[in-house]
Amino acid sequence: MKRSVRLEISRTSSHERRAEHLSRPAREEYLSNDGSFLLQLSKDSEIRFGPAFYKAAIHGGNGKLIFNFGGRRFFSYSGYGHSSTSWTGPWSPTSPKVALAELLSTHAEPGTKITRMNIFDMSRQTPMFATDFESLVTHRMWSSDGRLYLFRDVYSIYACSVEQGSLIPLSTSKSPHCFLLKDKFLCVIETTGEVSLFEGYSGRPLDSSHISESGYTVKSAVIDEKKENILVRLKRQAEFGAEELWCGVTVQCSD
């Protein structure tokens, strides 16, 4: 019997974590899910009105240095006011695999690769995946089962199949509001309120809907890992201090 997958949108109340705008600490530390590894990012430099870059090192649970990335520079996981969570942090939720977006060049010229998306298996201290891009890589998150890693550049939204070490183009949407739900679905929310659902291993369209609030546009969206849904903040256009509305987006599956 064919499985039915559909989007469900409902009004809700605000549960958004308030961000500290452009927070750029001198050091960031992230513990792996099993507590056996600690990733340290130490601020190296930054571009004015742009991102900060960090040197990286990984220590064992006893504090011993396991791996030093030397002169390589990486992007923050809490920059631009977004704090990391279990799914949006660098470590896989299920294994000691770590995802790091690396700076290759600060010269954004046509044909120049400026960012590399890396995934390393620290239990073996080996790289599992690396792909280069001509733009910044943003909006990164793991699936809760650790099998997919989602990110986007300025052109498209991608997933990495961690087991296969392969890149999967999913959507050419330019929206920054892109999330993995139920381990294998990509949900994309446009500023206009259009919501699209794709199969996370192929990019096949599954469903579409619309947040129907006349005169409102999408201002932000965050994932609620406990409820496994997306909280969407809407605001009326061109009205200072206008009332905010909140909607929840979920995926419903049935046989």
Tens digit of pLDDT at every position of the chain (255 positions): 456 889 999 988 765 454 444 455 678 899 998 899 999 999 998 877 778 899 999 999 788 999 999 999 999 886 433 455 678 889 999 999 999 999 999 887 888 999 999 999 998 989 999 999 999 998 899 999 999 999 999 999 999 999 999 999 999 999 999 999 999 999 999 999 999 999 999 999 999 999 988 888 999 999 988 888 999 999 887 666 668 899 999 999 875
Return the pLDDT at 81: 36
Nearest to 186 by CA among 166, 176, 171: 171
What are residue 69's phi and psi, to 5 degrees? -85, 5
Return the pLDDT at 239: 61
List, as own/partner pairs, every contact residues 114-117 make where C-beta atoms lie below 8 angstroms and the sequence separation is at least 24, other chains included: 115/75, 115/153, 117/151, 117/160
Please count the residues of the chain. 255
Task: Give the distance, in angstroms, between the CA of residue 9 and the centroid of all CA atoms in the same chain.
Answer: 22
- Kindly tell me the burial class for residue 6, based on how many C-beta atoms sit within 10 Å of its own C-beta (0-12, 13-18, 19 or more): middle
Return the pLDDT at 15: 57
- Give yes or no for a contact between 9 and 243, defined as CB atoms under 8 angstroms apart: no
Tokens 């990984």, residue located? 58
The domains of the chain are located at 1-17+175-255, 19-82+88-142
pTM of this prediction? 0.89
